[in-house]
Amino acid sequence: MESALDKRGRKVLQAVVHAHILTGEPVGSRTIARKYGLGVSPATVRNVMADLEEMGFLTHPHTSAGRIPTDRGFRFYVDRLMDQGRTMPYFLKGDLDQLRALMSRRDLSASEALVEASRILSKVSNQMGLVFIPPLRSTRFRHIQFVPLGSHKVLVLIVAEGGIIQHKTVTLDESMSTKELERYGQLLNSQFSGRTLVQVRQALVEAMEHDILEYDVLYSSALRMANRALDSFEEAEAVFHVEGASNILSQKEFGENVERMKGIFKAFEEKSKVVKLLDRCIRSDDLVVIIGGEGGIEELQDLSLVTSRCRIGDTVIGGLGIMGPKRMDYATLLPLMREASQLINVILTV
C-alpha cells in the first residue's frame, strides 16, 4: 500500500506532518493549499487527505475538520520523507560544545557523564532525556575492591568495563583486616578481570568445587568472599534515569489531560516496561525511533522515543534517549542525537 502512495500524496503527507509538528493542531486542506505551495486547490488537497486517511496515514480527531498523522504516517515520514542525511542545525553547535566539555571531564564516571548528558539533551530538545545502563551482571567486570567498614561489614566496589561503578555493603561471618581484603581483591582481579559477572559466578562455582582448593587457603577464602559479595549484585537492577519529565507538561497534548499524564508518570514509576524497551533499543547499531504504539506500552502510546547506544570501544555501556510527543521535531532531534552519541563514543573511548 505504501508503494501506491504517489508523489502528490507524499507531498501532502509531508506537509501535514510539518504543520502538525509546528502547531500541535489538526491540519485542514485549506492550510496545506495556502502555505505549502503544492500548486493545487484546497478541494484537491482535501481529496488527497481523504485518500491518506483511508490508507491509514492520517486520522480525524473527534469532530475536527482537520487531520493529524497516525503512527503509520509519522513512520512513513521518518523513514521515507525526511532527509536522513541532514546535519545538525547550526544553532545547536554551542550545545554540542557544552556536551563535549562535559564528556571530557575526568572527575565523572561513565554513568555520571551519561546522566549529565541527558540533562543537556533534555534542555536543548525541551523533551525528556533518558539514560539506560544495563544490569551489571551483563557487563564485563574490570576491578573489584573490598573496603572494611567496621566489625564484620565490608563495602564491595565493582568497576565494570566503561567505568561504571556499583557498590554494596556485605556482612561477613568474621572480621577481616584491610591487608587481607586487599590481597583478596588482587587475587580476584588477576583471575577474573575481563569476564562478565555471569561468567565470574560460573568460574567461582567451578573453582570452589575443585579439590585443589583444600591446599590453597588464601585462594579458597578469596573465592568464598567473592561468591558472597557477588550474591548481592546478582539481582541488581538496570540504571534508569529520566531528566526533564516536566517538559511534557508544557506540551498542549498533555498539559490539560490529567488522566493521560497520570498514565505516563505511572509507566515511568513502574519502569520495568520502559527498561525492557530501552534494552531492546540499544541492541541496534544505529539510531532507533519508536513512534507511539510501536513500543507496546499503552501508557506511552502518545509519545515517541529516539535512542542511541553508547559504548567504550566495542563495549556497549548503555544508551541515551529523547522522549516527547509524537509530533516532536524529528528532522532536528535525529541529527542531534546522532552527533551527540558519536561524540560521546569517541570521547569515552579516548
Q: Helix, strand, coil shares of the chain as percentages rounded to 5?
A: 55, 20, 25
Q: How many other β-carbons are positioned within 10 Å of the β-carbon of residue 112?
A: 15
What domains are defined for the chain? Answer: 2-81 (1.10.10.10), 90-134+238-349 (3.30.450.40), 138-231 (3.30.390.60)
Phi, psi (5° rounding) for residue 41? -80, 160
Q: Where are the beta strands (DSSP E) in 115-191?
A: 128-133, 141-150, 153-160, 165-171
**What is the pTM (predicted TM-score) of this model?**
0.76
Rg of the chain in Å (alpha carbons): 26
Classify burial at 227, counting beta carbons within 10 Å of its beta carbon; exposed 0-12, middle 13-18, buried 19 or more. Answer: middle
Q: What are the pLDDT tens digits along the chain (350 aa)?
A: 555 688 999 999 999 999 999 999 999 999 999 998 888 999 999 999 999 999 999 998 877 678 999 999 999 999 999 876 666 666 677 777 777 777 677 677 777 788 888 998 998 899 999 998 877 666 677 888 888 887 778 888 877 765 666 677 777 777 778 888 888 888 888 888 888 777 777 777 777 666 554 446 666 767 777 777 676 665 556 678 899 888 887 887 776 677 888 888 888 888 888 888 988 888 888 899 999 999 999 999 999 999 998 877 776 778 899 999 999 999 999 988 988 888 887 776 65
User: Which helix (H) or strand (E) element contains residue 112?
Assistant: helix 110-125
- 179-194 per-position pLDDT tens digit: 888 888 888 888 888 8
Nine-digit cell at 8?
502528490
- 217-256 per-position pLDDT tens digit: 666 767 777 777 676 665 556 678 899 888 887 887 776 6
